[in-house]
Structure 1
Amino acid sequence: MHPLNAQVDALMRAVSAEVVMPMFRSLAADQIEEKAEDDYVTAADKLSEKRLTEGLLAIDPSTRVVGEEAVAADPTVVAGIEKGAVWIVDPIDGTGNYAAGRPPFAIMVALAVEGTIEGGWILDPITGRMVHAALGAGAFVDGERVHARGTGAALPVAAITTRFLPAGMRERIIERLPGRITEAAPPLCAGEQYPRLVLGENDVAMFWRAQPWDHAPGALFLTEAGGRLARFDGSPYRLGEDRTGLLAAASPDLWDRAAAILFG
């Protein structure tokens, strides 16, 4: 586990207990905003990020924090994310679900040093499940080491998010799915999707949006568990790249199989 695991775990659980869960299904209409199409922020997101930011800087004052809502307010905050020691924070992942009063949603934190993700944490506030990974030290669920295992199904079970894809690409991919992929409903929450890949519920997931706060913790968790995350062309996922499109799979073999099906 990461050397800071206990401190980060405790902070995230405190924010969940004191901010996120008390406000779940208790938000007033004026506490929910639409930043862009299908991109929501709530008063709970903002307070969660404030508390997480304060707590993470208290753990290590030499770091800085790149939070989703801070970047929404000032896009320059994300600049240089690949330099120095940086906490990456998604105060509530799956805000659309949270705002609608339904699960899943998650609190997510990653620690990157010089562009390398060294620690990742994903907390499910409803169940209390903590997903954690440390670079070179493995992937863990509630403290128990795990290895990605896939579903074992004849056809890959894939959560394919196509709604944000460019129209031409969307049509080509949808045409390729019948008889080659078993579609699974995307949870609309990366903090739930990555655990599903490791825990044998899904084999493959495809994302178009690739913001660091959505993917940094899950990327480390998946790869430390033995899975693979890469761009559609097979190039590695790196912090600081302003690119779209990610394909994730429970194993390198499943990644190759899915890429051949989806992209030819």
Structure 2
Amino acid sequence: MRRVTELAIMPRYRNLAAGEVEDKGGNDPVTIADKESEALLREGLTALDSSLAFVGEEAAHADPTILDSLEQPCWIVDPVDGTRNFANGKPPFGIIIARAEGGEAQSGWLYDCLSGRFCAAHEGEGSSIDGEIVSARPTGGTPPIAAISMIFMDEDRREATKRHITPHYELVDIPFCAAEQYPRLALGVNDISLFERTLAWDHAAGALWLNEAGGKAARPDGSPYRVDEVGRTGLLGAASPALWDELAELYEKL
């Protein structure tokens, strides 16, 4: 991840030429850095284990049938998480990789391209940042601090969220970057987060990392996040199981 950052991502940061940023639709940008990063990550991960299928965000956009591979052992890759930020020349942005089997992430890695922060988790083995074990901690704020993403909600759902959920929290801006949002939920920066769109490359690694750190990420009904539930919406993340339970109770009112 560090090598790809140095080769494909940072040379383009605040240095994108005309024509090197495209819109995939729905205000969802992609840059030449995303494409070059994904190609290099595919090469490197295939060298590590060629038995795993490769599900990259950009490859899946070009060929949606690639999403079928989420049902088998696979690598799941977001080559530049936070492309919106990257394309605008501002932080945060990173790389996310997960290794999944049986529809669930077994390992996950989140890399901050600017700071070099490296988050890692393996099922049943805990979570770490730069090699140091991490235990999730709430902010201690009253009310709890919430980063709630409403950009992919329809208008009715957005209004319902504003009526039933947001009044119970102190709202802060979302970072538009899952590689940043999940660490915030464990490091005493945010207490809860609500995601509407739950694409595997955005959430497989982060949900595993938060759970292994002692926080909680799960579907609103309490079921675990699965990478093969393509198109399913709704995911709740919290710095502790108790904070998750409080959010889930509010979410039932939507």
- Shared fold (TM-score greater than 0.5)? yes
Aligned pair count reads 252
- 2:39 corresponds to 1:50: yes
Distance in 1 (alpha carbons) for counterparts of 2:86 and 2:205 = 19
TM, length-normalised to structure 1: 0.92
1:161 deviates by 0.9
Which deviates the most, 233-242 or 54-63?
233-242
1:46 deviates by 0.1
Alignment of 1:131-146 (within 5 A): 131-146=119-134
RMSD: 1.2
Alignment-derived partner of residue 158 in structure 2: 170
Match of 1:192 among 177, 180, 193: 180
Does structure 2 conserve the Cα–Cα contact (< 8 Å) formed by 1:82 and 1:116? no
Give the partner amino acid of 1:155.
P
1:258 deviates by 1.6
Residues 66-111 of structure 1 show CA distances to partners (whole Å, capped at 9, x for unaligned) of 000000000001103122x200000000100000000001101011
Distance in 2 (alpha carbons) for counterparts of 1:169 and 1:179 = 15
Distance in 2 (alpha carbons) for counterparts of 1:137 and 1:235 = 21
Q: Secondary structure of 1:29's partner?
A: coil
Alignment-derived partner of residue 99 in structure 1: 87
1:179 deviates by 4.4
- 2:30 corresponds to 1:38: no
Give the partner amino acid of 2:204.
A
Distance in 2 (alpha carbons) for counterparts of 1:50 and 1:177 = 41
TM, length-normalised to structure 2: 0.96
Which deviates the most, 25-34 or 228-237?
228-237
Q: Secondary structure of 1:66's partner?
A: strand
Match of 2:17 among 6, 22, 28: 28
Distance in 2 (alpha carbons) for counterparts of 1:40 and 1:212 = 18
Alignment of 1:200-239 (within 5 A): 200-239=188-227
Does structure 1 conserve the Cα–Cα contact (< 8 Å) formed by 2:53 and 2:69? no
Distance in 2 (alpha carbons) for counterparts of 1:220 and 1:105 = 19
Distance in 1 (alpha carbons) for counterparts of 2:55 and 2:150 = 27
- 2:72 corresponds to 1:79: no
Distance in 2 (alpha carbons) for counterparts of 1:38 and 1:128 = 28
Give the partner amino acid of 2:141.
A
Does structure 1 conserve the Cα–Cα contact (< 8 Å) formed by 2:42 and 2:54? yes
Gaps of 5+ in 2: none
Residues 92-145 of structure 1 show CA distances to partners (whole Å, capped at 9, x for unaligned) of 001000000000011010111222311111110100000110111110000000
Q: Secondary structure of 2:70's partner?
A: coil
Give the partner amino acid of 1:131.
C
Match of 1:109 among 77, 82, 97: 97
Distance in 2 (alpha carbons) for counterparts of 1:184 and 1:263 = 22
Residues 2-49 of structure 1 show CA distances to partners (whole Å, capped at 9, x for unaligned) of xxxxxxxxxx11001111111111111200001011211000000000
Does structure 1 conserve the Cα–Cα contact (< 8 Å) formed by 2:104 and 2:225? no
Does structure 2 conserve the Cα–Cα contact (< 8 Å) formed by 1:139 and 1:222? yes
